[in-house]
Amino acid sequence: MVLDPQKIITIYWYAALIGTIVFILKTALPTDTGTEVNTDFTSMSDSDASFSLFTVESISAFFMCGGWTGWVAFSQLHYELKVAIIASIIVGFLGMFIFVWLISMAKKLEHIPTYDLTTLNGKSGKAYVHFEPQGTGKIQIEFNSKLDTLDAVSVSNEVIDAFTPIKVVKVENDKVYIDKDN
């Protein structure tokens, strides 16, 4: 069976173009639509659920890299069809693995802050809402280098009005206990 070289070039060109468009759209545009749709097909290992080899982005990277390589090898460099196919498959898989590797390296940069409420002991802030005696409410206090609103329990026997200065007297079982700051 003899394949028309122009059809082969067209196939490579369309694979490269569609792969490039999908790759750019999926990686560059924000995709948070509020839905729970997941485009991952299978995980490479069961131990790391965040590492997926077959995603829309990695498959489009395969077609993008492989398509452009096959198109250049066959139409511009005039390699034989077998050489162009082998080169496009190898470069396609390389592009796919490099993309997945880069994403896994980027995920390692994610920082999940740890909240140690005991660092609040002795700190001052203000009541965010009205506290009844021995009641619960919310306070505003600098926590983890930012102004944060936290739940708190009053240890005072008197009312603490909103925006009154308060002081954290203790932190116990992830509960913040406050009193008026005199």
The tens digit of pLDDT for each residue in 98-124 reads 999 998 888 888 766 667 888 899 999
pLDDT of residue 38: 47
Final residue before a domain boundary, out of 108, 137, 155: 108
Claim to verify: residue 82 and residue 152 sit in the same structural domain? no
Final residue before a domain boundary, out of 80, 108, 136: 108
Which pTM was predicted?
0.53
Claim to verify: residue 172 and residue 92 sit in the same structural domain? no
pLDDT of residue 52: 74
Host domain of residue 56:
5-108
pLDDT of residue 37: 45
Q: How far apart are CA 57 and CA 55, in angstroms?
A: 5
Number of domains in the chain: 2
> Count of H helices and E strands in the chain?
3, 7
pLDDT of residue 1: 63
Residue 117 is given by DSSP the state G
Claim to verify: residue 13 and residue 69 sit in the same structural domain? yes
